[in-house]
Amino acid sequence: MAIFKRVGVVLIAILFASQQFVSAEELPIVERASFPKDFVFGAATAAYQYEGAAKEGGKGLSIWDTFTHRPGVIAGNTTGDVAVDQYHRYAEDVWLLKDLNMDAYRFSISWPRIFPKGVGEVNWEGVKYYDSLIDHLLELNLEPYITLYHWDMPQALEDSIGGWLSPDIVDAFTRYARFCFERWGPRVKHWITFNEIHSFAGAGYFSGEHAPGRCSPPKCAAGNSSTEPYIVSHHALLSHAYTVDMYRKEFKDSQNGVIGITADSSWYEPMDSNSTSDQQIAQEFLEGQLGWYLDPIFFGDYPASMRKGLGSNLPTFTAEEAALVKGSQDFVGINHYSSMYATRNETTGESIQTAYKDGVAIGGETPSPWLFVVPSGMRKLLGWVRERYNSPIIYVTENGRDEANKDESMPLADQLKDPERIQYYHDYMQNVLLAIQDEADIRGYFAWSLLDNFEWAVGTTVRFGIYYVDYKNDLARYPKDSAHWFQQILKKTTDSPK
């Protein structure tokens, strides 16, 4: 997750005056039985972070394959060349997922594993890998939730047309999506077009910290932080809209599936809850992170605060495009991890986000400088989505926390203890339950992540997994205490004791 700064300028009130908070004694119990009957529990992953086999099986290079081989851009100079080797170990990992008593697996397709050049010739060996993964999931009654794009643009398209900066990418993406629907649509009923456009547009084209590493010079060799994130996001939203339109016209009725998009957002708390200015700034940050992608999908255009603040740097939709984008979802995925304060710098007048108030953090600190433990932010953010977009169907498609690598001289049993993660999942899932009580239409929850894995710019220096991966011992998987916790809370009444 990457957060970059934008300024909105329109006052819209925070919509929580009517939210009823409950006492500690009334908080819901976090167990399967507390959730709606058909609520889906799963774990989330991404192809580049998991699969490895970067140059095996006919796969083409992605921008991440190229980016991670630049010295110094990834902590420890690690890469996803091997990652956690799920390409070879998918059967084991599917079994591990099942052993958690989960219902579904959210994973992404590697575009260059299917189309090594982005378009044209199909790599059938890569197709067979996903055939086998989906087969194993269905054999164990685990539902596949497939993300079409989780940041691994084919390098060939980056080189030939400029990737997301080119309007031609829309046609290339829809061709790729069509193949996926044709091949796996009869067996896959839940599709997500994009994961976190905000993150790959921001970190890839604003700060340059992620692939393809573009931002304004001199920090980056090429790019324009003032314009490119918005161009990239615009083309991705159009790719989403055209893909959804195609799916609905050609596949939805016969395949009986649904399609949506996943967006990410922190919750923004006014630094001074009584300050109208801080309330306005918090609202603008929400509009500039989450509304940037969901407003077009629900209303047909970007938030007015973004339009006023960015002017001509923010692209416009034609009337035809606006009509296509509006309504292009059967559900929305929300990735949420952390919360921030929003206020105004008294010296510069600039809107700022910060995790600290009077030197005190907004919540528990973690190894990641952007992740603070604020469980109530989950309920508030889901409530904001419910209020602003008139109660859409929501899946929490990512939520979790990291821990630092522990001293490897410690006994393995001690390295597997993760009480902070258990508490995080408990408290955030409890707030999902409270959001459901607030009448948000939430249908599922996916933990990030099944295994410790390659975490983008920070490599393997932090661990988000429910299962521990021993990077020095053939990537062996071991259940952390949080794995046993999930096994217990997700038991079905008909399950036999483990």
pLDDT digit string, tens, across residues 224-236: 999 999 999 999 9
Q: Is 131 exposed, middle or buried (0-12, 13-18, 19+ CB in 10 A)?
A: middle
Nearest to 334 by CA among 85, 106, 53: 106
pLDDT at 10 over 90: no
Positive or negative, the CA dihedral 309, 158, 48, 102 is: positive
Residue 304 Cα distances to 15, 266, 277, 288, 329, angstroms = 18, 20, 17, 10, 21
Determine the pLDDT at residue 4. Answer: 38
Q: Which residues pair with 357 in a beta bridge?
A: 360
Average pLDDT over residues 316-343: 98
Q: Over the stretch 117-141, which tens digit does the pLDDT of each residue have?
A: 999 999 999 999 999 999 999 999 9
The secondary structure of residue 221, as a DSSP letter, is S
Average pLDDT over residues 47-73: 98
Q: Does 196 qualify as catalytic in the annotation? A: yes
Determine the pLDDT at residue 493. Answer: 76
- Which of the four pLDDT bands, split at 50, 70 and 90, describes residue 23? low
- Which of the four pLDDT bands, split at 50, 70 and 90, describes residue 1? very low
Average pLDDT over residues 419-436: 98
Three-class HEC string of 354-391: ECEECCEECCEECCCCCCEECCHHHHHHHHHHHHHCCC
- Which of the four pLDDT bands, split at 50, 70 and 90, describes residue 457? very high
**How much is the pTM?**
0.94
- Which of the four pLDDT bands, split at 50, 70 and 90, describes residue 180? very high
- Which of the four pLDDT bands, split at 50, 70 and 90, describes residue 5? very low
Whether residue 449 contacts residue 400, with contact meaning beta carbons closer than 8 Å, is answered with yes
Domain ranges within the chain, ordered by starting residue: 24-489
Determine the pLDDT at residue 96. Answer: 98
Among residues 321, 398, 403, 455, the one annotated as catalytic is 398
Among 3.20.20.80, 3.30.70.980, 1.10.150.120, 3.40.1410.10, name the CATH number for the domain at 24-489: 3.20.20.80
Question: Cβ neighbours of residue 15 under 8 Å, at least 6 residues apart?
Answer: 383, 384, 387, 388
Average pLDDT over residues 301-305: 98
Single-letter amino acid code for the residue at 264: D
Token pair of 75 as six digits: 């902590």
Token pair of 115 as six digits: 């189309």
Q: Does 56 qualify as catalytic in the annotation? A: no
Give the three-class secondary structure for 41.
Answer: strand
